[in-house]
Amino acid sequence: RILALGDSVTVGLGVAAEETYARQLEALLGRSIAPLRVINAAVTCYSTWQEVDVLKETASAVRPDVVTLAFYW
């Protein structure tokens, strides 16, 4: 499992759900490696320290193998 964190870039503001980088990553890696899940837990307007809180809140339930963090600025 991959947990995607970040701001509106990761959320995919302005694009369809299938066009977000998290969904694209899931499709790409799922074809080349094995079926996997990318969970998009990003929140628009959040900063790094707020995403750390999201990670703390979700990590035990999601149990990700990899965490990505992407911000516009």
What is the pTM assigned to this prediction? 0.88
pLDDT digits over 28-52, tens only? 998 887 788 999 999 999 999 999 9
Mean pLDDT for the chain overall: 92
Question: What is the full DSSP assignment across the chain?
Answer: -EEEEESHHHHTTTS-GGGSHHHHHHHHHHHHT----EEE---TT--HHHHHHHHHHHHHHH--SEEEEE---
CA dihedral 44, 45, 47, 53 (to 10 degrees): -50
Cα–Cα distance, 63 to 40 (Å, whole number): 13
> SS3 of 18, please?
helix
